[in-house]
A and B are shown apart, each in its own frame.
Chain A
Amino acid sequence: MSREAEQAAPVPPQLDRADVRVKHEAGVGGAIRRFFDRVRSGDLGSLPVIVGLVIIWTVFASINPIFLSSSNLVNLLFDCSTVGVIALGIVCVLMVGEIDLSVGSISGFASAMVGTLWVNQGWPVALAILAAVAVGGFIGALYALLFNRLGMPSFVSTLAGLLAVLGLQLYILGSTGSINLPYGSNLVNFGQLLMMPKFVSFGLAAVPGIVMLVTGLRTVARRRAANLSAPSAGGLITRAVVITVILELIVFYLNQARGIPWMFGLFVGLVISMHYALTRTKWGRSMSAVGGNREAARRAGINVRLIYSSAFVLCSMLAAFGGVLSAARLASASQQAGTGDVNLNAIAAAVIGGTSLFGGRGSAYSALLGIIVIQSIASGLTLLDLSSSLRYMITGAVLAIAVIVDSLARRSRVSHGRA
Chain B
Amino acid sequence: MIDTPDGPVPTGELVLSLRGVSKNFGAVSALTDIDLDVHAGEVVALVGDNGAGKSTLVKILAGVHQPSSGTISFRGKQVTLADPSAALTLGIATVFQDLALCENLDIVANIFLGRELNPLRLDEVAMEVRAWTLLNELSARIPSVREVVASLSGGQRQTVAIARSLLLEPKLILLDEPTAALGVAQTAEVLNLIERVRDRGLGVVIISHNMEDVRAVADRIVVLRLGRNNGIFSPDASNQELVSAITGASNNSVSRRAERRQARQDQTALHDQKGEPRP
Contacts and interface: CB of A to CB of B under 8 A. Distances in A.
A226 B133 CA distance: 12
Contacts of A21: 143
A404 B88 CA distance: 43
B129 A282 contact: no
Interface string B118-161: 01111011101100110010000111111010111000000000
Interface in A224-283: 226-228, 280-283
Contacts of B88: 301
* Interface-central residue, B103, B120, B124, by most chain A CB under 10 Å: B103
B105 A418 contact: no
A292 interface: yes
Interface in B89-138: 96, 99-105, 109, 113-116, 119-122, 124-126, 128-129, 132-133, 136
A21 B151 CA distance: 15
A281 B102 contact: no
A288 B99 CA distance: 18
B128 A228 contact: yes
B235 interface: no
A160 interface: no
Taking residues whose C-beta sits less than 8 angstroms from the other chain, chain A's interface range is 35 or more
B144 A22 contact: yes
A299 interface: yes
A288 B125 contact: no
Contacts of B84: 299, 301
A314 interface: no
B4 interface: no
B85 interface: yes
Nearest to B116: A282
A336 to B, nearest CB: 39
A295 B100 CA distance: 7
Nearest to B118: A282
A301 B115 CA distance: 8
Nearest to B83: A301
A419 B101 contact: no
**Residue of B109, B121, B125 with highest tally of chain A CB at under 10 A:** B125
A285 B109 contact: yes
Interface of A: 1, 4, 15-16, 18-19, 21-22, 219, 222-223, 226-228, 280-283, 285-286, 288-289, 291-293, 295-297, 299-302, 360-361, 413-414, 416-419
Given A285-B122, A302-B113, A418-B148, 11 more contacts: A219-B124, A226-B128, A228-B128, A282-B120, A285-B109, A292-B105, A293-B101, A297-B102, A301-B114, A360-B102, A417-B151
| 8 closest residue pairs by CB, A with B | A282-B119, A292-B104, A300-B114, A417-B151, A296-B100, A360-B104, A301-B114, A22-B143
Interface of B: 84-85, 88, 96, 99-105, 109, 113-116, 119-122, 124-126, 128-129, 132-133, 136, 141-146, 148, 150-152
